[in-house]
Amino acid sequence: MPRVPLAPLDDDARAGLADLAAPGVDTQIWQALAHRPPILRAMIAQARALLTEGVLPPELKALLAVRVAQINHCRY
C-alpha cells in the first residue's frame, strides 16, 4: 500500500504521459504527484526533456534507466 494516497490522473496528465510511459509501466509516482497538478505538469515536462531531447538515442536512455534501477534494487 502506498504511503501517499493515489489520485486519478486527469485527461491532460494521461495525454502528457502517453509518449513517456510504455504500456504496463507503473503510474503510481504520477498518481501521487496528481494531488498537486502544477508539480505534476512540471515533472512531466522534466521527464519529457530528459527522455526525448538531447544527443543520446532514446534506446540508450532506456537502458540507462533500467541499469540504474537494477543497481538500486528498484522495480522499473
Q: C-alpha cell of 45?
A: 515536462
Shortest CA distance to 36 belongs to which of 18, 3, 11, 10? 10
Residues near 70 by beta carbon (within 8 Å), at least 6 away in sequence: 76
**pLDDT for position 50:** 84
Q: What is the pLDDT of residue 39?
A: 93
Query: Where in the chain are the domains?
Result: 11-18+25-71
Low-confidence ranges of the chain (pLDDT < 50): none
- pLDDT, residue 22, reads 64
Would you state the pLDDT for residue 48?
Answer: 85
